[in-house]
Amino acid sequence: MNAPWPMLVSMLALFLSPGPATMSLAATGAAYGPRRGGRYLAGIIAGTLFDAVLIATGLVGVLFALPAARGVLTIVASAYILYLAWKIATAKPLREAEPGDRPPGFTSGFMLAITNPKAFAAIGAIFAGYTIFASSPITDVLFKIGMLFVIILAGDWVWLAAGALLAQMLRSERAGRILNICFALALILSVAALLPAGA
């Protein structure tokens, strides 16, 4: 067994840094609050773990070997994230939200996670770059998925709660609307930064 600490440090840096998932969680927290954003958080966690299974089984490598498939995934991911950004930008400020306002749910979080280019790149880097249990590939994969689950559960909840806390600190409706728009723009920019040139 190799020491897991270098892998854990890399996981923390890769999965807790700003990206489509973390930015959308902060935006959801700001627009709807942490309790109402819980299903969205659960969807992102489930989708990210699904990504890990796809990478561990090699299915992503087969898919990405097809240029047309990569193009379709890029278009679908970009369109879906633009939709989420619009939904967040047009949401009422947290202080003005009404019970009838529907936050993104489990399916929205799952869809974002399985179309998130940062998630695939980060999980691929972890799986390819570190081996903890060299004598047991299955144990190695399960350990990595388990660590990934713990890190994204804690870290993503912090992003969701931080967005809500920031929104609650604002005193005016106008400031709340500006915050929602800023989070939506940050979400769009976080995706644009991950797209390859010419994609």
Q: Which amino acid is at 35?
A: R
The tokens for 133 are 């249990």
Q: How much is the average pLDDT of 177-197? A: 68
Q: State pLDDT tens for residues 2-58.
A: 788 888 888 888 888 778 888 889 888 888 888 889 999 999 999 999 999 888 887
Confidence of residue 68 (pLDDT cuts 50, 70, 90): low
Q: State pLDDT tens for residues 115-147.
A: 877 787 788 888 888 888 888 888 988 999 999
Q: How far is CA 60 from CA 55, 112, 119, 159, in A?
A: 5, 16, 12, 27
pLDDT at 199: 42
Assess whether pLDDT exceeds 60 at residue 94: no
